[in-house]
Structure 1
């Protein structure tokens, strides 16, 4: 679990060091702006943005049982963040698989994308869709119970 926070912690630490240096040089305005930018980057790359990842096999098993799409993603991916943010609360109704944590997931994505690890790759009813429109993904969700 701690590994998921490493990038966010490094961004906060770097932002703090840069801001401290700028404050010591007498530029607190720029320091505050840069620190805010680093904090935003840390938040966007934190586990708070994405629902908890599960393994590829577990996601596929769950998807077969409940009909929900599986999203293969990786930290730092701009398109994955766009999909997650545009789905809003509906994102929690998908099964999210981090391809950097699961080698089987990375293999599934490579098989779907001619050997490339292109994410987000969304699997709906066994068919992969690379970087689909968030509205389309929302339409693929089964009705809420």
Structure 2
């Protein structure tokens, strides 16, 4: 198993100094994102949106089986930190108007280079140290 370690030359004393001067977010902003996706339900919401594409609250509600008010609570948390976005379709159809949620670019990145990467590394670790082979 090859582990990729990267280090920044001259590691700063203050972790906030790891960010470029023109950073999109502050260190606290990035940590808030990490904390938000650290909740099982919110992780699953972002995961499903990143992998399945746009979904309505009804579709997500059916997929993860939580009540509507709890789902909207989690949507609001994820929207506040910029991991998901809400769009409302303006044209009416036979079912009326729909709100759609999707993962933002930051939502997709935090999955790919955060929790999902750790989960994939677990497979690598298990295969590298499997004593049954």
TM-score band w.r.t. shorter chain: under 0.3
**TM-score normalised per structure 2:** 0.24
Q: TM-score, normalised to structure 1's length?
A: 0.22
Query: Looking at both structures, which has the greater relative contact order when contacts are Cα pairs under 8 Å and sequence separation is at least 6?
Result: 2
